Amino acid sequence: MRGGGQGRFQGEPDPVAAKFSRSVHFDRRLALHDLEGSRAHAVMLGRIGLLTAGEVAAIRRGLDRIEKEIRGGKFRWKDSLEDVHMNIEAALTQRVPAGAKLHTGRSRNDQVATDLRLWLREQVAGDCAAIRNLQKALVHLAEKHREVVLPGYTHLQRAQPVLLAHHLLAYVEMLDRDHGRLADAAQRADVMPLGSGAIAGSTLKLNREVTRKLLRFARISANSMDAVSDRDFLIEYLAAVALGGVHLSRMAEDMILFSSAEFAFLRFGEAFTTGSSLMPQKRNPDMAELVRGKSGRLTGHLVSLLTVLKGLPLSYNRDLQEDKECVFDAADTFRNSLEVMARAVASLEVDAGACAYAASAPELLATDLADALVKTGMPFRKAHQVVGAAVRMAEERGTRIDRLSRDDWETLAEGSSVPAAEVLGGSSPVIRARKALQARSAVAGAPSLTEVRRQILFWRKKLK
């Protein structure tokens, strides 16, 4: 087909060209949204007197019958009809004579732009629900193990003790920003293009407000040229899911590392691991690795559509057909990644002993010791230098900083009193680490037991 009809052309398109331009094999995904838009358009045409009440009713019955067939997998899609819109229109016209009037005042340009916005609204709602489910799984795991201490890492080197719950809640925060970005993208997409025609609206007195209300859009597009060529809302969606994929990848990476024998903090349930074809002892975190890998695919789709759009003149160009495959694949990839990560997180077992052992190194309290020196009146830079020198001295002696003598500390501090025993002495390493964490209870956002408990209660209430 050529633009929906043969009037301008005498012959059929070249078969290779026809196959190359065909989109029905992927844009049929918009079928239910196309039907929704067509019902609203038919009602509007009836309201302005271009269709009789009987014709509107017949068209709606025909569209309902087509929807039932599509949902039941019985609708016959024809590649020769090029896209989802022509397939539905041809089927309707064949069954309902008034169907030939349905395209009055409408172009496939504003039709597909409307369908995509309707699709995005539904997709984002599902994505946001999937994000909430993953957040719930993380909060549940954090609450279950809220007193487990492990090292926090910078540069993948042990830095300071933190709570495992605090680590998990960091990803809850990231996911909440993803949720907000998706909701924001959907809000900006909540504009109805229908009525813009191919580029310049219509000479018919279309009542776009009627259609807007029926399709539950917040606003009507203000510029017909922009309306049919705008794909910013898809770019924003791809940007949101690409960044969401990065967050999922980072989460997966942490869990892959922590489930390795070198860390042994976590263990995935068997259902989310696989064995090796050669090494019978292996238990590979394949689901997390796949999530990590698919983040590159999401980034690639964003770059792909940005590249398609960057050189397009106003208004509609056929290049825009390339928006759907990358957006649909990104949507499926992101949703699947969210769903599998939620289940994988729920399957995790935590080895509190391994976490505590890794957090027991006294060097993790070096900053706390420097803070204690600051409380005695020593400038922080000087305190930092003293504790750094103590770490070096302990390494050179093949010992640990909690085993240095009082004389050693006084020498390093040039005679000043050092409260090393207060920070490093006495209790077991685990209790020492918990004491250090609880000392942070006055600081909002810190990994103290009190603050983490407060954050867990906050998220439980928000996600309820």
pLDDT digits (tens, 9 = 90+) for 185-232: 999 999 999 999 999 999 999 999 999 999 999 999 999 999 999 999
What is the tally of structural domains in the chain? 3
276 classed as catalytic:
yes
Statement: residue 1 has pLDDT above 70: no
pLDDT of residue 5: 55
Query: Are 43 and 180 in a shared domain?
Result: no
Same domain for 373 and 404, yes or no, is: yes
For the domain that residue 261 is a member of, what is the CATH number?
A: 1.20.200.10
331 shares a domain with 190: yes
pLDDT of 433 strictly over 90: no
Does residue 299 contact residue 2 with C-beta atoms inside 8 Å?
A: no
Boundary residue ending a domain (314, 331, 353) = 353
- pLDDT > 90? residue 460: yes
Structural domain includes residue 210 = no
Q: Is residue 298 a contact partner of residue 326, using CB atoms and an 8 Å limit?
A: no
- Among 79, 104, 129, residue at a domain's last position: 104
Interval 139-176: pLDDT, tens = 999 999 999 999 999 999 999 999 999 999 999 999 99
Backbone torsions φ then ψ of 353, nearest 5 degrees: -65, -45
Q: 394 and 349, same structural domain?
A: no
CA angle 107, 110, 112 (to 5 degrees): 100
Q: What is the CATH number of the domain that holds 85?
A: 1.10.275.10
Alpha-carbon torsion 190, 195, 200, 206, what sign?
negative
Is 140 among the catalytic positions?
no
User: Given 80, 260, 276, 427, which residue is catalytic?
Assistant: 276
Range of the domain at 450: 360-463
Instruction: Report CA torsion sign: 160, 162, 166, 171.
Output: positive
**Do 255 and 315 lie in a common domain?**
yes
Q: Considering 295, 323, 353, which residue would you say is the last residue of a domain?
A: 353
* 2 domain-assigned: no
- 207 located within any domain: no
- Residues 143 and 119 occupy one common structural domain: yes
